[in-house]
Every structure is written in structure tokens, then in C-alpha cells.
Structure 1
Amino acid sequence: MSVRILALVGSLRAGSHNRQLAETAVKLAPAGADVALYEGLAEIPFYNEDIDVEGGVPAAAAKLREAAAGADALLLFTPEYNGTIPAVLKNAIDWLSRPFGAGAIGGKPVVVVGTAFGQYGGVWAQDEARKAVGIAGGKVVEDIKLSIPGSVTRFAETHPADDSEVTEQLTEVVNRLHALVDAEQTAA
């Protein structure tokens, strides 16, 4: 059985370094793992309980919930905006947290990684994302981390897939998440 990992990217920019990291993770997935990059976070309206009603959930939000429900784990890629998590990623987490107590990420392993321009590689945003995911019911995997500093200069002329240090670290992240989920499925 293949381990299905859903990748969400907290940047909507086409040339986003975090998107490039996610695309690289898709290519680095080991045998037995399928990393799927989710498309469509820009179409999801801001979470509003008034529109989150049976039969009335916006199609874009329902599509995200369906993708997360079908995944065995999530891998979040986040930049850091003003020292915190981007709104698009927080919004996705909010939609995935509902309905209360039965959200699409409930009990699923979630790893948060990313890159940012600052010297710490976006660790504040990653910490905020982990906090939100944990409260939303996801099972935050605290010991799998990757924060790559200096993204604007480091990736100015080099795609993350062409940076051997980054591909080695990202391969380890994906392999460890795959192994964790595989072990959980085997034990079940």
C-alpha cells in the first residue's frame, strides 16, 4: 500500500521557493510514497462558519477537505510573512479543522518545513503552523524539521532541486515521514 502525503504550500507566488521545495519533494518521494502537491488554495474563501454548513460548503473548501481526508499525512511548506504564518496556509488549516472534532486532518501526521529570506529560515512561521495544526487536531511531528535560511539569495540562481544540501535534507524529511506513516499502518 502506498503512503499518500498531501503537500500544501503557504505561498501563492508562481516562483515561490517554498513551491519549488514542494515540487522537489514530489520528485524525491521514495518507492511506496506518493507526495501530491495540492493546487487551489487561492480559490478557498476565508473561513466563515456561516458558509460552513452541510450542503453549503464552498466547492474549493470541500475539495481541500476531500484531498486531506484521502491523505495519510500532510507536509506543509511555509514561508514567513511578518514573522508568522501566511494567511493562505492558516485559512487552509482552519477549513481542515472543521467540523469540530471531525476535521480532515484529525490524528494525521503533519510535518512543517520551509524556507524564508531571514537568517532562521522561517522558524517562527513554522512554529505557528505547528501550533495551529495541533489545535486543529493534526498530529504534529515535532522531530522532523527543515528550515532553510536566506532563500532569496540562496535560490536566486539555483533551484532547490539543484542544491545538493537541500535535496539531501528534503529527501530525509520525506523518507522519515513515509517511514513513520508506514510503521503506523503496519502496526494497525
Structure 2
Amino acid sequence: MSHIDVLALSGSLRADSHNTALLRAARGIAPDGMALDLYAGLRDIPPYDMDLDTPDRRPAPVRELRARITAADALLIATPEFNYSVPGVLKNALDWVSTDWTGAEGLPLRRKPIALTGAAPTNFGSVRAQLALRQVFLWTDSDLVVKPEVIVFRSHERFDEEGNLTDPTTRRLLGELLDGLARKVEAARTGVPAAA
């Protein structure tokens, strides 16, 4: 496999977030040739404002995120679930990077290979949040990895006190998800659709 750069986004701002820990674990599970860069600027993204959503007026953190997504071969997103849906900070960031009102820049998320996962302490994990994200990425015409669905329920039981992912089933599924993401990237490069 050729080199693949993945931008990893956690939908949680918490210092001890299981979703951020999940992305750190993914670094060690990723297939050879895949490098994960953990995005840490979500807190700096201002509320979406269409009046500022042009190339010359976007806030600097938004411009940086758009550039990093454009440069990445793929995205890996780990989301918690708030009120049966996606955390507002994550949805807000996606709103900023889903547009091209001038028609001159291109759409950073269009046909971008994306894999989803998510952790939550409840018995259903991040099922609903991931479902909501799937709808968002349908609209943005992104190339989503559909299986496996990696839903880390009762997440407090799957990490140790240092935030290390200790659950072997979750590690295996996360590895399969990253393999699927690599296949999406290779398919985009070669123009040959990835096997289901």
C-alpha cells in the first residue's frame, strides 16, 4: 500500500475524551503506510456564519481546517453522542468545510474517503450520532466506509485509567475500519471501485 495521510477529528473537547483516546489508539492499529494526524483545533472554530463563508473572509482556524482536509487523503472521525445526535462543535466545523459559494475553491468533503467511529458510556454508544453524520456525508457526497460499524458502547469499560484502548474486539473492529478506509483511498487513486 502506498502512503496514506489521514486527518483524525474527535468530536469531543474533553481532555480525557474516550473519542480522542480512540483516535490515539487508531494510530497504533493503522495499516502500514497509513499516518494519522490528530486535529486539535476544534475548540477554535467559531460558530458558522454564512456572511463570513468566502475565501477572503473566513476566520483563520476555518481556513486551516479546510486546507488540512483538502490535503489529507482521508478523514477518520470519532464522535460522542449528545442528545441523540452529533455534538454541536463537530457539526459546526463540518458546516464550515462543506461549502463553496464562489464556485472557485472546490468542496473539501466531496468524494473524500471518510470513516466513522464513536464512543459513549451508554448501552447504545454513539449509534444515533453516527447515523446523523452519515446523513451529513450523504449530502456532501463523501465516500463513506459503511462497514464495519465501530460503535464503542459502555466506553468506560474499554479503556484503562491512562486512556489506552484495552478491549480486543474494539481494537479488531477499529483495525478493520482503517483497512476499509485504506481501500477507499486506493480506489480513489486508481479509479477502481473498492470491494464492498
Does TM, scored on the shorter chain, surpass 0.5? yes
Alignment of 1:37-116 (within 5 A): 37-100=38-101, 102-116=106-120
Change in CA separation of 1:54 and 1:185 when aligned onto 2, cut-off 3 Å: closer
Question: Does 1:20 pair with 2:17?
Answer: no
Q: Secondary structure at the match of 1:143?
A: coil
Aligned to 1:163: 167
Q: Structure 1: 5+ residue runs without aligned partners?
A: none
Instruction: Give deviations 1:149-185, integer Å, cap 9, x for gaps.
Output: 1113443647343332222221111122112312332
Q: Counterparts of 1:65 and 1:144 in 2: how far apart (Å)?
A: 27
Percent identity at matched positions? 37
Aligned to 1:150: 154
Report how many aligned residue pairs link the two structures.
188
Q: Secondary structure at the match of 2:61?
A: helix
With normalisation by structure 1, the TM-score equals 0.91
Question: Does 1:125 pair with 2:126?
Answer: no
Q: Counterparts of 2:63 and 2:118 in 1: how far apart (Å)?
A: 26
Q: Counterparts of 1:21 and 1:141 in 2: how far apart (Å)?
A: 17
Q: Counterparts of 1:94 and 1:136 in 2: how far apart (Å)?
A: 10
Q: Secondary structure at the match of 2:116?
A: strand
Change in CA separation of 1:54 and 1:183 when aligned onto 2, cut-off 3 Å: closer
Q: CA RMSD in A?
A: 1.8
Q: Counterparts of 1:161 and 1:138 in 2: how far apart (Å)?
A: 28
Q: Counterparts of 1:2 and 1:117 in 2: how far apart (Å)?
A: 34
Q: What letter corresponds to residue 92 of structure 1 in structure 2?
A: A
Contact 1:26 1:37 in 2 (8 A): no
Question: Does 1:33 pair with 2:34?
Answer: yes
Aligned to 2:176: 172
Q: Secondary structure at the match of 1:50?
A: helix
Contact 1:17 1:160 in 2 (8 A): no
Change in CA separation of 1:31 and 1:156 when aligned onto 2, cut-off 3 Å: closer
Q: Secondary structure at the match of 2:52?
A: coil
Q: Where in structure 1 do 4 or more consecutive aligned residues deviate above 6 Å?
A: none
Give the C-alpha shift of residue 138 in structure 1.
1.6
Q: Counterparts of 1:96 and 1:129 in 2: how far apart (Å)?
A: 14
Q: What letter corresponds to residue 120 of structure 1 in structure 2?
A: F
Q: Secondary structure at the match of 2:91?
A: helix
Q: Structure 2: 5+ residue runs without aligned partners?
A: none
Q: Counterparts of 1:70 and 1:48 in 2: how far apart (Å)?
A: 24
Question: Does 1:185 pair with 2:186?
Answer: no
Q: Counterparts of 2:163 and 2:144 in 1: how far apart (Å)?
A: 28
Q: Counterparts of 1:20 and 1:64 in 2: how far apart (Å)?
A: 21
Give the C-alpha shift of residue 109 in structure 1.
1.5
With normalisation by structure 2, the TM-score equals 0.88
Aligned to 1:136: 140
Change in CA separation of 1:38 and 1:58 when aligned onto 2, cut-off 3 Å: same
Q: Which 10-residue stretch deviates more, 78-87 or 160-169?
A: 160-169
Q: Counterparts of 1:20 and 1:51 in 2: how far apart (Å)?
A: 33
